[in-house]
Amino acid sequence: MEAFEYASPHTTESALKLLGGRWGETEILAGGTDLISAMKDRVTTPKRVVNLKKIKGLKRIEYSAHSGLRMGALVTIQDLLDNKVAREHYPALAQAADGIRGEQMRHMGTVGGELLQRPRCWYFRNGYGLLAQYQGKSLVPDGQNRYHAILGNSGPAYFVNASSLAPILIALGGKARLHGPEGEREVELRKFYTTPMKEEDREYVLKPNEILTEILVPPDKGGKMAVYEVREKTALDWPLVAASVVLHLSGGTVRSARVVLGHVAPVPWPVPEAGQALEGKAVTEEIADQAGKAAVSKATPLSQNGYKVRLAHIAVKRAILSAVKGEA
Amino acid sequence: MEVVRFTLNGDPVEAGVRAGETLVQTLRERFGLTGTKQGCDLGDCGACTVLFDGEPVLSCLVLAADAEGHSVVTIEGLSNGEELHPVQKAFLDEGAVQCGYCTPGMVLTTTALLDANPDPTEAEIRRALSGNLCRCTGYTKIVRAVRRAAEASRADGRGGE
Ligand SMILES: Cc1cc2nc3c(=O)[nH]c(=O)nc-3n(C[C@H](O)[C@H](O)[C@H](O)COP(=O)(O)OP(=O)(O)OC[C@H]3O[C@@H](n4cnc5c(N)ncnc54)[C@H](O)[C@@H]3O)c2cc1C
Ligand code: FES
Ligand code: FES
């Protein structure tokens, strides 16, 4: 790891003063499970690292029937799993958190860091850059792309967003609260992630001198929800694909449905087509299957990842059936 | 160089550490506590697990500077002199150790598990140990050792009252 200056401020305000205006000059450290390994691999070589763990106000987790769930960015995955109220109101959020395996990872990893973890694309992690370009052309389409994007992959980015929590939080209508030099702003998580167009871009709208302070999730209002992940291994790896579903039913028919796919595109990928296939209908296995099919109708797999299209189709179907049965 | 002060296996210690030095390096290189293994160095194997304020963490992803004011327990801090900790004894008795590289991490993760949940099911044991990779044993004997340790600790707890 390259040498850097290390700062552990006690307040968000003092942390903000230590951040630079360009990505890579300074980096924010939370649990470190992603940043420290990225620094060891020289994926990023900041001159200054700003540790947030001394900021007390960012560790709160609270729920009210009126405003829903508020989670400080430093709440750990374990804190989230241990929170009975969050589990009760958002069982699928707990389900997604539970998929992140390893006691160590759950005790160290924070919700903020989980949402902002950098892509696991092996080109990126091995020094080819976020867009994995060589002589102006991406190495991914003709390269080793079995874990890469099947949607939103018209370039220049082909990696997949790695977060397990982002898709369900988007399906739940969650927002990110950001604190910057000019004050605070709230961004819907649905609009928080972006596909980078240039090598210097990042995968989210957060600016280099902003801190993610809180995640806000509106009240659940009787929604039925589930996450269905397909994994190659049950631990020490990310899902191949995951589907998050939040349904509102009235009298046995679907009134509204939000379906969001994870690990299929450079951003968490909402699939309104799947929701439309469900709305106004009673959920049967066949209807759920049609929604799964609709979810991947626009997929454009690369040379090695066609199998992910089928996985995503089935994940959506199973997430829907599981949500209706209340299995989360 | 920065000086960090923390509690290591029950004793107050201090060390000068480099920026970017990870806790596993400090433990192994400055304190000579080589029971903590540096395996993948990237969070993929759990061999570097130590207890940080009683919770299992990956010391390869913790900056040494962040130990300031905290309590760290390594495998060397578990036994009481020559007397093995019940989890260590159970691993020995069940033959849950082959090459031994994963063992310190397995034992420490198990210790934290049993502190939080004295009577875990097999599924809970497997879930708790999912961040600790073992290339040798096939895990069966490890799971059995955790069960044995849980029984021994519970029997101990009852006898002690
Ligand atoms: C073997 C392995 C398996 C894994 N499996 C999964 C999985 O299945 N699903 C999954 O979702 N994740 C998985 N992870 C990733 C893990 O969940 C993340 O590494 C972790 O949640 C990141 O949190 P952290 O607090 O350690 O972040 P850090 O490493 O501290 O930070 C991560 C990034 O976010 C930025 N950041 C952190 N907090 C803030 C903030 N408040 N404001 C602004 N920027 C911030 C940092 O600058 C950095 O770029 C896995 C990791 C490993 C090593
Ligand atoms: S050495 Fe730390 S997880 Fe492998
Ligand atoms: S005993 Fe060899 S790695 Fe587990």
Q: Residue A236: its pLDDT value, please?
A: 87
Whether B71 has a pLDDT exceeding 60, the answer reads yes
A33 with B58: Cβ contact below 8 A = yes
Whether A32 has a pLDDT exceeding 70, the answer reads yes
For the segment A42-67, the average pLDDT, to the nearest whole number, is 96
Domains of chain B: 2-77 (3.10.20.30), 86-160 (1.10.150.120)
Q: What is the DSSP letter of A72?
A: E
B20 with A3: Cβ contact below 8 A = yes
Using an 8 Å CB-CB cutoff, list chain B residues near A5: 19
Rounded to whole angstroms, how far apart are CA atoms A149 and A306? 10
Chain B closest-CA separation from residue A309 CA (Å): 27
Helices (H), A162-235: 165-171, 189-192
In Å, how far are A41, A48, B63 from A4, measured between CA atoms?
Answer: 15, 5, 12
Nearest to A102 among B18, B112, B130 (CB): B130
Name residues whose C-beta falls within 8 Å of residue A30's C-beta, 6 or more positions apart in sequence: A52, A53, A73, A74, A110, A112, A113
Q: What is the DSSP letter of A210?
A: -
Judged by a CB distance cut-off of 8 A, whether residue A56 touches chain B is: no
Mean of all residue pLDDT scores within chain B? 95
Whether A25 has a pLDDT exceeding 80, the answer reads yes
Owner of token pair 């210097």: A200
**Is the CB of A314 inside a 6 Å radius of any atom of ligand 1?**
no
Q: Residue A35: its pLDDT value, please?
A: 98
Q: Residue B161: its pLDDT value, please?
A: 36
Give the mutation candidate from A42, A104, A105 for the B interface (greatest B CB count, under 10 A).
A104
Using an 8 Å CB-CB cutoff, list chain A residues near B66: 8, 32, 51, 53
Q: Residue A328: its pLDDT value, please?
A: 82
Ligand 1 mean position to A107 CA, how many Å? 12
Structure tokens at B72: 């760290």
Rounded to whole angstroms, how far apart are CA atoms B157 and B151? 10
Tens digits of per-residue pLDDT, B10-40? 999 999 999 899 999 999 999 999 999 999 9
For the segment A242-251, the average pLDDT, to the nearest whole number, is 96
Q: Residue A156: its pLDDT value, please?
A: 97
Whether B109 has a pLDDT exceeding 70, the answer reads yes
Judged by a CB distance cut-off of 8 A, whether residue A51 touches chain B is: yes
For the segment A190-195, the average pLDDT, to the nearest whole number, is 98
For the segment B134-155, the average pLDDT, to the nearest whole number, is 94
**Is the CB of A305 inside a 6 Å radius of any atom of ligand 1?**
no
Ligand 3 mean position to A287 CA, how many Å? 48
Rounded to whole angstroms, how far apart are CA atoms A204 and A172? 19
A4 with B45: Cβ contact below 8 A = no
Domains of chain A: 224-325 (3.30.390.50)
Mean of all residue pLDDT scores within chain A? 97
Q: Quick check: helix, strand or coil at residue B104?
A: helix
pLDDT band at B156 (very low <50, low <70, confident <90, very high): confident
Tens digits of per-residue pLDDT, A256-272? 999 999 999 999 999 99
Nearest chain A residue (CA) to B132: A102
Number of A–B residue contacts, CB under 8 Å:
82
pLDDT band at B155 (very low <50, low <70, confident <90, very high): confident
For the segment B107-133, the average pLDDT, to the nearest whole number, is 96
Instruction: Say what the ipTM of the complex is.
Output: 0.94
Using an 8 Å CB-CB cutoff, list chain A residues near B49: 104
Whether A278 has a pLDDT exceeding 70, the answer reads yes
Rounded to whole angstroms, how far apart are CA atoms A216 and A66? 12
pLDDT band at B159 (very low <50, low <70, confident <90, very high): very low
Q: Residue A6: its pLDDT value, please?
A: 96
B56 with A104: Cβ contact below 8 A = yes
Residues with CB under 6 A from ligand 2: B 38-41, 43-48, 58, 60
Structure tokens at A99: 């998929």
Judged by a CB distance cut-off of 8 A, whether residue B132 touches chain A is: yes
Q: Which of B37, B109, B134, B141 to mutate to test the pocket of ligand 3 (most atoms within 8 A of CB)?
A: B134
Whether A307 has a pLDDT exceeding 70, the answer reads yes
Rounded to whole angstroms, how far apart are CA atoms B118 and B150? 6
| Pick from A133, A127, A98, A118: nearest CA to A231 | A98
pLDDT band at B153 (very low <50, low <70, confident <90, very high): confident
Owner of token pair 């609270």: A62
Nearest chain A residue (CA) to B54: A107
For the segment A207-223, the average pLDDT, to the nearest whole number, is 96
Q: Residue A103: its pLDDT value, please?
A: 95
- Percent of chain A whose pLDDT exceeds 90: 95
Ligand 3 mean position to A104 CA, how many Å? 18
Chain A closest-CA separation from residue B15 CA (Å): 16
Give the mutation candidate from B3, B63, B73 for the A interface (greatest A CB count, under 10 A).
B63
Burial class (CB in 10 A: 0-12, 13-18, 19+), A293: middle
Ligand 2 mean position to B126 CA, how many Å? 18
Judged by a CB distance cut-off of 8 A, whether residue B2 touches chain A is: yes
Whether the CB-CB separation of B104 and B36 falls below 8 Å is answered with: yes
φ, ψ of residue B67 to 5 degrees: the values are: -75, -15
